[in-house]
Amino acid sequence: MQASIAAMPGWKRDIGRHLDALIERTVPGVRKAVKWNSPFYGVEDQGGWFLSFPCITKYVKVTFFRGTSFRPLTSGESRHEEVRYLDIHEDERFDKAQLAA
């Protein structure tokens, strides 16, 4: 996992490190894997993967696999019924407390 995050280009690497640390602090017993060159996070006894964050050309796309259960909803809709996205662009701050909640 750490090698995958270290391989992220430029500013995206820092976002990846921050997200990884936040997830580790927030989710006890989190499982990590790399699939399709993207970090994946899950909890084994709670239905599998809950988040991934692939690097897109101009942003990091945080993918919440059960994002429709969040309040407030993230603005990034998906063609998949339960999935929601949060796109993080360079020099853009994200609310770490809200993300952890």
The number of distinct structural domains making up the chain is: 1
CATH code assigned at 27: 3.90.1150.200
101 residues of the chain, pLDDT tens digit each = 889 999 999 999 999 999 999 999 999 999 999 999 999 999 987 778 999 999 999 999 999 887 777 666 566 666 667 788 889 999 888 778 777 77
Q: How far is it, in rounded angstroms, from Cα 33 to Cα 88?
A: 21
Cα dihedral 74, 22, 44, 81 in deg (nearest 10): 10
pLDDT at residue 49 in the model? 92
In this prediction the pTM is: 0.86
